[in-house]
């Protein structure tokens, strides 16, 4: 494409207002919460005074913080594993040609179009210990005598991760499907002629084409699941006990329940730095792959 | 061949069930009456199906085999929530498309200095967890009087939808063949005329798809709605629904309200499926580095 100075001016004219608006909407709160994190604030009497790094010291002394990080990581790892497997399964099925494929595509897409908070309500109704579908099926089959509570200390994180994966997996499926569709048909034919079974064809023909899409799926699912909050608010409220208190839910609780604005700001700043590090890693990983 | 077909159909049916069963259960719940909900084991089909709970969710009493059921105490919030969600989502969609279509075009088709940096700045804004920027917004909105106003919600939703929609449209414009534009330029169009006379009509299906997705993003947004609209006259549907979990549990009405909340999602997914697949959401980096 030809590059002229009028073109450059035209481009900036259209793009800069967007960037300025969006970054303004983000930069202001980031700067403000940096200021908050160096204060000691009493909301009841409305007094703020400079407190140096004392909030950060409190964060590092707080045993709930490493625990919340671990819960977030556990939740992310489970979600990423589920979404990648489910997404791959969906993509492989949707890549075949069969009757009703476009209808199935709609069905598979629907959970992604449904918001996180409705997903939480939906799955609460499936898991419920008074009228949930899962309990009812187990009971009908005679496997349990009375309904069981699935939100226990051990099960709560996997239970929420499964629900969240229902909502998130279609996104990965469509990244993967788009990559599958560019694989030339001839490659499969050649592989068949060579006598490869379907697993080997997947391993040696499809998988090399899927590497980038798999990486993107993993990165995006981990970004989303590490910071999800809507699901936790609507599904467990961090409980039972603190077993689903992820790092974002801990910040949420400190802000809106305990009203510790200063402390929560310091904590969210540390999370922010983690996310920046993660994003930089993500982009450099992807660019490196592309440059290869 | 035959065995292969069977495997595919079995897998397809399993996928359909996986996607549909949670939604079916919500529909089922919304058609049971409160006394039927706690039956053990559950009714897998509503024995007395009716839309009564939907009427109750919208503030009307309903006839049932167990006598007249009162309207939900939460009905006024649900009704107002639906109206408010629409009032917010429509301007968000229109403004986003007006801004993101040209921006997506520029990112997708033109080269200019610092393009990649600008694009990453735009996408980066979306990797921030909303909770980490929540308090400054709350204070700022309180001071400026934007708290509990449509304008306040619309502004914050635009900061979410514009980067996303720009990204998607950029992928789309990037795939259009270059000749189309050249044809327009040869006919004596300026760059901008070529854009809105040639490119936008060419991409009308993608633009429409993005408008649908933008509407959905706004309609589905939960966290800022909870923070900035709960208990105010502009409370949106997500905030209203979350309020139902705290109050007296009327699970059948909760189910009905959630069915109402997913109708736009299901409709948009059904209509736009074909186009959504064609959009190149795939690789922000490859596209960004063109």
Q: pLDDT digit string (tens) for B4-47?
A: 788 889 999 999 999 999 999 999 999 999 888 888 888 888 88
Closest listed residue to residue A41, CA positions, set A202, A239, A288, A261: A261
Q: What domains lie within chain B, and their CATH numbers?
A: 2-69 (no CATH), 75-288 (1.10.3720.10)
Query: What total number of domains does chain A contain?
Result: 1
For the cut 90, the answer to whether the pLDDT of residue B175 exceeds it is: no
Closest listed residue to residue B275, CA positions, set B217, B207, B227, B218: B207
Of the CA atoms within 13 Å of residue A32, those in its CB half-sphere come to 16
Q: Which residues in A lie closer than 8 A to residue B245 (C-beta atoms)?
A: 121, 234
- Rounded CA-CA distance A217/A211 in Å is 10
Contact B12 A118 (CB under 8 A): no
The set of residues, in sequence order, having a beta carbon less than 8 Å from that of B43 and lying 6+ positions away, is B28, B32, B36
Contact B156 A233 (CB under 8 A): no
Identify whether A146 is part of a domain: yes
Q: Of B136, B223, B238, which has the smallest distance from its Cβ to A29's Cβ?
A: B136
At B124 the pLDDT is 75
At B285 the pLDDT is 45
Smallest CA–CA distance, residue B168 to chain A, in Å, is 13
Contact A109 B273 (CB under 8 A): yes
Span B189-213, pLDDT tens digits: 777 777 777 778 877 888 888 999 9
| Interface size between A and B, measured as CB pairs under 8 A | 268
Smallest CA–CA distance, residue B40 to chain A, in Å, is 7
Parallel/antiparallel/unpaired status of strands B62-64 and A39-42: unpaired
Identify whether A4 is part of a domain: no
- Give the residue from B9, B16, B17, B19 with the most A CB atoms within 10 Å of its CB, the best one to mutate: B19
For the cut 90, the answer to whether the pLDDT of residue A122 exceeds it is: yes
- Rounded CA-CA distance B59/B51 in Å is 13
Is the distance from CB of A151 to CB of A239 less than 8 angstroms?
A: yes
Is the distance from CB of A116 to CB of B241 less than 8 angstroms?
A: no
For the cut 60, the answer to whether the pLDDT of residue A290 exceeds it is: no
For the cut 50, the answer to whether the pLDDT of residue B286 exceeds it is: no
Q: Which residues in A lie closer than 8 A to residue B134 (C-beta atoms)?
A: 29, 255
Identify whether A30 is part of a domain: no
Identify whether A79 is part of a domain: yes
For the cut 70, the answer to whether the pLDDT of residue B179 exceeds it is: yes
Chain B residue nearest residue A214, CA to CA = B282
Span B119-172, pLDDT tens digits: 878 877 777 888 888 888 888 888 888 998 999 999 999 999 999 898 888 888
Smallest CA–CA distance, residue B257 to chain A, in Å, is 10
Contact B41 A136 (CB under 8 A): yes
Token duo for residue A185: 């048909």
Smallest CA–CA distance, residue B17 to chain A, in Å, is 9
Mean pLDDT of chain A: 86
Token duo for residue B17: 């069930």
Decide if B223 touches A, using CB distance below 8 A: yes
Buried b (16+ CB within 10 A) or exposed e, B94-125: ebbbebbbbbbbbbbbbebeebeebbbebbbb
Closest listed residue to residue B26, CA positions, set B290, B275, B251, B286: B251
Report yes or no on whether pTM surpasses 0.95.
no
Tell the residue number behind the tokens 């009032």, with chain if given. B87
Identify whether A156 is part of a domain: yes
Token duo for residue A215: 């990486």
Decide if A292 touches B, using CB distance below 8 A: no
Identify whether A70 is part of a domain: yes
Q: Of A14, A109, A123, which has the smallest distance from its Cβ to B276's Cβ?
A: A109
Token duo for residue B52: 């009564």
ipTM: 0.88
Choice between A103 and A51, residue whose per-residue pLDDT is larger = A103
The set of residues, in sequence order, having a beta carbon less than 8 Å from that of B224 and lying 6+ positions away, is B130, B134, B137, B153, B156, B157
Confidence of residue B184 (pLDDT cuts 50, 70, 90): low
Span B101-121, pLDDT tens digits: 988 888 888 888 888 778 878
CATH of residue A196: 1.10.3720.10
Q: How far is CA B122 from CA A78, A210, A277, A287, B126, in A?
A: 29, 27, 17, 17, 8
Is the distance from CB of A139 to CB of B31 less than 8 angstroms?
A: no
Range from A31-40, A60-69, B28-37, B272-281 carrying the lowest mean pLDDT: B272-281
Is the distance from CB of A265 to CB of B139 less than 8 angstroms?
A: no
Cis (ω within 30 of 0) for the bond into B41? Answer: yes
Identify whether A194 is part of a domain: yes
Q: Which residues in A lie closer than 8 A to residue B4 (C-beta atoms)?
A: 198
Confidence of residue B279 (pLDDT cuts 50, 70, 90): low
Buried b (16+ CB within 10 A) or exposed e, A30-51: bebbeebbbbebeeeeeeeeeb
Domain that holds residue A92: 62-291
Chain A residue nearest residue B108, CA to CA = A11
DSSP state letter for A204: I
If you average pLDDT over each of A237-246, B61-70, B214-223, which comes out highest?
A: B214-223
At A4 the pLDDT is 53
Identify whether A43 is part of a domain: no
For the cut 50, the answer to whether the pLDDT of residue A292 exceeds it is: no
Choice between A232 and A6, residue whose per-residue pLDDT is larger = A232
- Rounded CA-CA distance B95/B211 in Å is 10
The set of residues, in sequence order, having a beta carbon less than 8 Å from that of B23 and lying 6+ positions away, is A110, A114, A122, B262
Closest listed residue to residue B235, CA positions, set B19, B82, B13: B82
**Which residues 66-125 of chain A have a CB within 8 Å of chain B?**
86, 89-90, 93, 96, 98, 100-102, 104-119, 121-123, 125
Is the distance from CB of B56 to CB of B68 less than 8 angstroms?
A: no
- Rounded CA-CA distance A70/B93 in Å is 38
Q: Which residues in A lie closer than 8 A to residue B273 (C-beta atoms)?
A: 102, 105-106, 109
For the cut 50, the answer to whether the pLDDT of residue B282 exceeds it is: no
Decide if B269 touches A, using CB distance below 8 A: yes
Decide if A251 touches B, using CB distance below 8 A: yes
């Amino acid at each position: 494409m030809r590059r002229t100075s009028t073109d450059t001016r035209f481009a900036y004219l259209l793009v800069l207002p967007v960037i300025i608006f969006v970054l303004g909407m983000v930069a202001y709160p980031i700067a403000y919460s940096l200021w908050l994190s160096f204060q000691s604030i009493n909301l009841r009497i409305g007094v703020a005074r400079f407190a140096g790094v004392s909030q950060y010291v409190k964060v590092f002394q707080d045993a709930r913080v490493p625990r919340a990080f671990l819960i977030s990581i556990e939740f992310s790892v489970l979600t990423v594993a589920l979404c990648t497997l489910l997404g791959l399964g969906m993509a492989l099925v949707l890549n075949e040609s069969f009757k009703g494929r476009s209808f199935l595509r709609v069905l598979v897409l629907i959970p992604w179009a449904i918001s996180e908070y409705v997903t939480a309500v939906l799955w609460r109704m499936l898991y419920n210990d008074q009228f949930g579908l899962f309990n009812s099926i187990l009971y009908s089959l005679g496997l349990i005598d009375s309904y069981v509570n699935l939100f226990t200390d051990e099960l709560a994180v996997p239970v929420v991760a499964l629900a969240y994966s229902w909502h998130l997996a279609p996104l990965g499926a469509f990244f993967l499907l788009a990559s599958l569709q560019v694989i030339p048909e001839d490659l499969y034919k050649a592989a068949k002629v060579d006598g490869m079974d379907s697993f080997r064809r997947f391993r040696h023909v499809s998988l090399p084409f899927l590497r980038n899409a798999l990486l993107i799926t993993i990165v995006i699912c981990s970004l989303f699941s590490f910071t999800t909050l809507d699901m936790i608010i609507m599904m467990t409220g961090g409980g039972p006990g603190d077993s689903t208190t992820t790092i974002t839910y801990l910040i949420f609780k400190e802000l809106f329940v305990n009203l510790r604005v200063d402390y929560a700001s310091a904590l969210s700043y540390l999370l922010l730095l983690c996310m920046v590090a993660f994003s930089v890693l993500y982009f450099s990983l992807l660019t490196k792959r592309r440059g290869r | 061949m035959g065995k292969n077909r069977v495997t595919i159909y079995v897998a397809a049916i399993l996928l359909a069930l996986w996607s549909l069963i949670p939604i079916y259960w919500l529909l089922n719940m919304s058609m049971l009456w409160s006394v039927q909900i706690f039956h053990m084991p559950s009714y897998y089909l509503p024995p007395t199906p009716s839309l009564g709970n939907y009427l109750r969710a919208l503030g009307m009493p309903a006839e049932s085999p167990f006598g007249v059921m009162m309207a939900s105490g939460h009905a006024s919030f649900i009704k107002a929530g639906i109206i408010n969600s629409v009032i917010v989502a429509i301007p968000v969609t229109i403004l986003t498309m007006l801004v993101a279509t040209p921006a997506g075009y520029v990112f997708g088709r033109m080269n200019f200095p610092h393009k990649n940096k600008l694009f990453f700045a735009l996408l980066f804004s979306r990797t921030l967890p909303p909770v980490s920027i929540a308090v400054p917004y709350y204070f700022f909105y309180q001071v400026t009087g934007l708290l509990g106003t449509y304008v306040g919600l619309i502004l914050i939703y635009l900061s979410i939808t514009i980067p996303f929609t720009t990204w998607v449209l950029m992928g789309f414009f990037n795939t259009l063949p270059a000749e189309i534009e050249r044809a327009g330029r040869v006919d004596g169009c300026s760059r901008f005329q070529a854009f809105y006379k040639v490119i936008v009509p060419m991409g009308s299906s993608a633009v429409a798809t993005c408008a649908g997705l933008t509407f959905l993003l706004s309609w589905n947004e939960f966290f800022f709605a909870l923070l900035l609209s709960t208990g105010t006259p502009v409370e949106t549907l997500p905030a209203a629904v979350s309020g139902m979990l705290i109050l007296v549990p009327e699970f059948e009405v909760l189910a009905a309200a959630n069915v109402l909340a997913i109708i736009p999602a299901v409709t948009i997914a059904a209509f736009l499926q074909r186009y959504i697949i064609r959009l190149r959401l795939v690789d922000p980096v490859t596209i960004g580095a063109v």
